Structure 1
Amino acid sequence: MKIYIDENMPHGKDFFNSFGEVITFSGRNVTAEQLKDADILLVRSITKVNEGLLALNERIQFVGTATIGTDHIDQAYLKQRNIAFSSAPGCNKISVAEYVLSALLILAERKQFVLNDKTVAIVGAGNTGSAVYECLTAVGVACKLYDPPLQAAGDQREFCEFDDVLAADIISLHVPKTMDGEYKTFHLFDQGVLQKLNCEQILINACRGEVVDNQSLLSLAQQEKAPILVLDVWENEPNIEKALLPYVELATPHIAGYSLDGRVRGTEMLYQALNQHLNVSPTLNSLDFKDKANIAEITISASISAELLKSLVHLIYDVRRDDALFRAKVNDLNGFDQMRKNYPERRELSTLTLTLIDTISPSSKAIDLNRIGFTVNKK
């Protein structure tokens, strides 16, 4: 078989070379001509898989995306052609949650507020939104969930109303892109909604750029009426509205879920799905390619304060690095995609083992290091 894999999929050849010839490609620029002899096609979110892309291929049997989102895949077309499909739900949820935590710790320092005094409304309570909820509540932050589709489906968690979302100090978006229907998310935050927010609120978008009307956001920002912005995703990627960039407190090129650990999980999930499709037993897992972290263990003998937590989180991932790189490279030729392609290694908090010595004190009770994501040993 010929297996075509996005070049940004870590350990792609390691996982799939036993199935046949592995060929890598540029996800943004791949053509129908390139894929005409593919048996298996494995992509990430920047590749739109539709009739146009597969028009010259008469042999393809399996398409997979190593991402949570699937709006870039024409699943109806795949079904029509009897092409099997799989995604990787939840593969990068931890990475996105840690992106949000890192960003909020930075904003708390810059804007001089106590994070635990704020309320966070999480819009979208699926895999990623739930991971954000788990991470932030482990820090002691009060969080509310908003997800009408899950609520209507009988999810027993407590959900808030949209008015509660608009009243929250911090709003974090984690929904899929849906263009129509009862639960449409395209421009969920349109001009009318954005106008209801104030300059002291924080709006984080780490899901899909089209969930927020970027032109309306730009207009409000130019009038100094926009909330404090953390944008990882943008409309019309990679051709984003660069005029918006100076008004964004933390700006990154769709890399919130781009930890090495999360991307390897995505690759592994497609490997498992392909094995199932071919009715063979998997012989590999991500532990076979476990990349050792540069910083693996720290011993702590002090109380776990908010300031110490910030230092520990940013030791592993500080979003300011990606913000600075993005601003420096966004005007380069293909700068948006080049940063994703050459993204510096980023690990998850679980790769750091914290050995705690006599750290139990009243100031540490509100912070649950295990739930935040660290690996914890106690002595």
Structure 2
Amino acid sequence: MGGTSGWKRLCPVVGWSFRRLLRSMWTLFIAVPPAARGSAEDSTLHVPAGARPPRNGEIMPDTPAQVYAIQGRTERDYSDCQAALAHVPARMTTLSNVGGEDDLIARARDADALVVTFAPITRAVMSALEGLKTVVRTGVGYDVIDVPAATELGVIVVNIPDIWIREVANHALALLLAWNRKILTLDRQVHAGVWSGTVPGERTGALHGETVGIVGLGNIGSAFARRVAALETTVIACDPYVEPAHFAALGVERVSLEALAERSDYVSVHTLLNAETHHLIGEKFFRRMKPTAILINTARGPVVDEQALARALREKRLAGAALDVWEQEPVAADNPLLAMDNVIATPHAAYFSTAAVAQVPRRCGEEIARVLTGQRPLNVVNPEVYAPGAVRRAR
């Protein structure tokens, strides 16, 4: 009797454990396709800081989450993103040559998460992808995402604001120094057999004692301020959303946009692109600038009105410009700014370093893992989705 009673008491436990085992085998070997399980190279369980694997007794959804990474101008290896999602589980798919809204919707119909670099994520896209829970931008700016629509639909928008602060600040400084020291002009002279050491007709500033104006004193603008301050410049900045204490901590004078235009020998743009900053640097700004001043833009192309800039340069209302970002990208071959000798042009490359770019897939995967396991991402662009009573799509 005692043995039989003990067996009866044990049966539910054994049966429950056996069912758990079968369910785990189903998830691992049947429900999750081979591509999602990964190869021997990416099979290591990676648990990002702040996220967690299933706790004892917790069952994660049987159907793997569908994560789509939309490739940008260059093909990126997202195996580290897949590795960061190993415990969710999730299936990672990369999409190349996406043709627009309809193509993206058709190819990512079952998406739980999107990773995006340049592809526009519009209201129409997010509405059509009814299971979409998060959109992760592979860098700092998120102007390619309709954030108000995402908030309304309950989609969490995430960016990586600290990924290439130093790279962009360094690039902006390099452009400033290239202009200040006339590097490109002197290089062309030497290649042409001219050994002069000066640039006739052009002012060469001493830099120390000159004034550098910064539009936007966020992470990158602040890093740039530290760099130019070390060169014994006077640094002024305009940013209505930054507390005066931050200006003071950097040793930067807080000024209006108008005063910045009037006083600066160099203007460096470091603001986000939104409705407020679109063409912020335009005709009125250029009319206030010194005729010897230089404009540098490593933020977003449409922050600067390129037609107004080209006109100001032709009319010699400022001395030159150095642009890494453009209103249309890739920049059109017939853009008049490309025909001007006093414009330094780079192809939206300020962000790039081998070390920084290598971090992107893993960082994106970690943030997606947080969303899909019910955690809050580290960098939420639209925190309103976490407000009490807010709509939020949940797995």
Same fold by TM-score greater than 0.5: yes
- Map Cα deviations across residues 184-220 of structure 1 (whole Å, 9 max, x no partner): 2121122122122233111001111111111111222
Q: Which residue of 2 aligns with 1:62?
A: 134
Q: Distance in 1 between matches of 2:356 and 2:212?
A: 24
Distance 1:60 1:217, change over 3 A: same
- Please list, as runs of the form range in 1=range in 2, the aligned pairs for 1:307-318 lying within 5 A after superposition: none
- Please list, as runs of the form range in 1=range in 2, the aligned pairs for 1:273-288 lying within 5 A after superposition: 273-279=367-373
Q: Which residue of 2 aligns with 1:2?
A: 66
Q: Distance in 2 between matches of 1:84 and 1:270?
A: 13
Q: Distance in 2 between matches of 1:54 and 1:113?
A: 50
Q: Which residue of 2 aligns with 1:161?
A: 256
Q: Which residue of 1 aligns with 2:213?
A: 121
- Please list, as runs of the form range in 1=range in 2, the aligned pairs for 1:236-275 lying within 5 A after superposition: 236-238=328-330, 240=332, 242-247=335-340, 248-275=342-369
Q: Which residue of 2 aligns with 1:150?
A: 242
Distance 1:52 1:280, change over 3 A: closer
Q: Distance in 2 between matches of 1:173 and 1:72?
A: 19
SS at match of 2:284: helix
Distance 1:280 1:89, change over 3 A: same
Q: What amino acid is aligned across from residue 258 of structure 1 in structure 2?
A: F
Distance 1:156 1:233, change over 3 A: closer
**TM-fit CA distance, 1:25:** 2.4
Q: What amino acid is aligned across from residue 169 of structure 1 in structure 2?
A: D
- Alignment of 1:14 onto 2:83: no
Distance 1:90 1:227, change over 3 A: farther
Gaps of 5+ in 1: 282-379
Distance 1:163 1:60, change over 3 A: closer
Q: What amino acid is aligned across from residue 72 of structure 1 in structure 2?
A: V
Q: Distance in 2 between matches of 1:28 and 1:95?
A: 28
**TM-fit CA distance, 1:155:** 4.7
Q: Which residue of 1 aligns with 2:385?
A: none
SS at match of 1:115: coil
- Map Cα deviations across residues 35-63 of structure 1 (whole Å, 9 max, x no partner): 2122220011x221112223442222221
Q: What amino acid is aligned across from residue 106 of structure 2 in structure 1?
A: E
SS at match of 1:121: strand
Q: Is the 8 A contact 2:68 2:92 kept in 1?
A: yes
Q: Which residue of 1 aligns with 2:179?
A: 107
Q: Is the 8 A contact 1:97 1:128 kept in 2?
A: yes
Q: What amino acid is aligned across from residue 266 of structure 2 in structure 1?
A: I
- Map Cα deviations across residues 109-158 of structure 1 (whole Å, 9 max, x no partner): 21643332322111100111011112222343332221112248x75634
Identity of aligned residues (%): 25
Q: Which residue of 2 aligns with 1:173?
A: 269
- Map Cα deviations across residues 140-185 of structure 1 (whole Å, 9 max, x no partner): 3332221112248x75634123343111111000011121xxxx21
- Alignment of 1:81 onto 2:153: yes
SS at match of 1:32: helix
Aligned CA RMSD, in angstroms, stands at 2.5
Q: Distance in 2 between matches of 1:198 and 1:225?
A: 7
- Alignment of 1:24 onto 2:94: yes
Q: What amino acid is aligned across from residue 36 of structure 1 in structure 2?
A: R
- Alignment of 1:207 onto 2:286: no
Q: Distance in 2 between matches of 1:238 and 1:170?
A: 25
Instruction: State which drifts further: 16-25 or 94-103.
Output: 16-25
- Map Cα deviations across residues 53-75 of structure 1 (whole Å, 9 max, x no partner): 23442222221001211222112
Q: Is the 8 A contact 1:33 1:56 kept in 2?
A: no
Q: Distance in 2 between matches of 1:218 and 1:76?
A: 33
Q: Is the 8 A contact 2:337 2:343 kept in 1?
A: no
Q: Is the 8 A contact 1:36 1:56 kept in 2?
A: yes
- Map Cα deviations across residues 314-334 of structure 1 (whole Å, 9 max, x no partner): xxxxxxxxxxxxxxxxxxxxx
Q: Distance in 2 between matches of 1:135 and 1:222?
A: 31
Q: Is the 8 A contact 2:324 2:349 kept in 1?
A: yes
Q: Distance in 2 between matches of 1:101 and 1:155?
A: 21
Q: What amino acid is aligned across from residue 129 of structure 2 in structure 1?
A: N
Q: Distance in 1 between matches of 2:353 and 2:279?
A: 27
SS at match of 1:36: coil
SS at match of 1:107: helix
Distance 1:35 1:271, change over 3 A: same
Q: Is the 8 A contact 1:63 1:83 kept in 2?
A: yes
- Alignment of 1:220 onto 2:312: yes
**TM-fit CA distance, 1:105:** 2.1
Distance 1:225 1:159, change over 3 A: closer
Distance 1:114 1:267, change over 3 A: farther
Gaps of 5+ in 2: 1-64, 183-202, 376-395
Pick the structure with greater CA Rg: 2
How high is the TM-score relative to the length of structure 2? 0.63
Q: What amino acid is aligned across from residue 242 of structure 1 in structure 2?
A: N
Aligned residue pairs total 275
Q: Distance in 2 between matches of 1:265 and 1:135?
A: 24
Q: Is the 8 A contact 1:5 1:42 kept in 2?
A: yes
- Please list, as runs of the form range in 1=range in 2, the aligned pairs for 1:38-49 lying within 5 A after superposition: 38-44=111-117, 46-49=118-121
